[in-house]
Each structure stands twice: as C-alpha cells, then as structure tokens.
Chains A and B, each alone.
Chain A
Amino acid sequence: DTGVSQDPRHKITKRGQNVTFRCDPISEHNRLYWYRQTLGQGPEFLTYFQNEAQLEKSRLLSDRFSAERPKGSFSTLEIQRTEQGDSAMYLCASSSERRTGELFFGEGSRLTVL
C-alpha cells in the first residue's frame, strides 16, 4: 500500500463554484479524517468517519461542506458555493482502530478560491 492519496493536489476555482476532493486511505484503516490547514497554522479538524459512518463533525463546518464515505473505503469532501475564506490545504488522514492517535496524512489538496 502506498499510503493515503488525495486528488486533486491543486484546485483553483472561482467564488461560488462547487469543488470536490477525493481521499483514498490506507486500505486496512477503518478511520478516516478530514482536516483543513492554512499557512502558519496547525491542522483544524473538520470531520471523521469510522468505516462508512460519519461520527463527528466540527461545529465550525458550515452547511456548505459535506463529506461522504459510501463504502467505507474512499471519501469525498464537497464544498458548495465556495468563498475566498475556503482557500486552504485540505488534508485527509487515516488511522487504525487500535492506534487512533497515529494519523497517516495524505499530501493534501490545495484549494485557491479567486
């Protein structure tokens, strides 16, 4: 397994457009997390899945954000009606059930909203 992969790596969009990011976790990991990171800051938790169930979602996450993990494997994060404040690096991570603090991060999807 080559680790966590994310696609696309970079996305430039105009304000008001919808964007979708995909994450493929390490295959044997049943936990999947989405974080957002801006320059000079630590990652900010968005949401997490255990298998296909979305068990927690940050209160900071507006209704424009939605995430799915339909078959308990890959996940998508969609942002509707993007705003300039959504510009950030969107990081996906996965972990095993036994070692939930040891997150394996993907390289991230960098979003720029013009």
Chain B
Amino acid sequence: DAGITQSPRHKVTETGTPVTLRCHQTENHRYMYWYRQDPGHGLRLIHYSYGVKDTDKGEVSDGYSVSRSKTEDFLLTLESATSSQTSVYFCAISEYGTGHQRSLHFGNGTRLTVT
C-alpha cells in the first residue's frame, strides 16, 4: 500500500463548471502524477510534480492545471469542465528503489462525469 488517497471517488458535474480533484499521500514521495484513463487509450499523463511548487506537463495537459503546495497533496483542476474530460483519473507516486528503479503506484481513481 503506497498510502495514496484520492477524493472524491466519484463526481458528476456540468459543462463549464470548475472541478478540483485531490490526491493525498502519506509517505513523503517526491514525484506525483495525474493520469487519465479512457477506453482505447490506456493511461495518459496529464501533469506531474517533482517537488513542492515544481510541476510539468504531460502529453494531455490542455484544459488542466495542477498545484502542489505541500509534499503530501497534489491537486488537479479543470477550470471549465468539458464532456471530453469525462474519464477516470488516477493519481500516482514514484517509489524509488535500489539503483535507478522507479516503480509507479496508483491511487484508486476518481470517476468524473461531465454532463
């Protein structure tokens, strides 16, 4: 258990409304990630963070912003939700092992529906 909690677990919202998803970790991992999962696309990286206030874009970052004001919390914001952002969102952390080992561990996901 990598100690990752996502909230909320489910959310339904209307087009044009802002939405914030939260990821909380308890083990002080430096790297945190937001992925979305859609049928036929696997998982795709939205944004990631490599430390407090340090973030970078992934391959599908348009329409999303992130913030990390504390090591343990990584927030994903949809400023104005669209139906194309209906998806399952996963937060993840990188756990570093011996050598260059970097294992990714996921939270349980947030199912977001934009109507």
A and B pair up: no
Binding site for A on B (CB under 8 A): none
A interface, CB within 8 angstroms of B: none
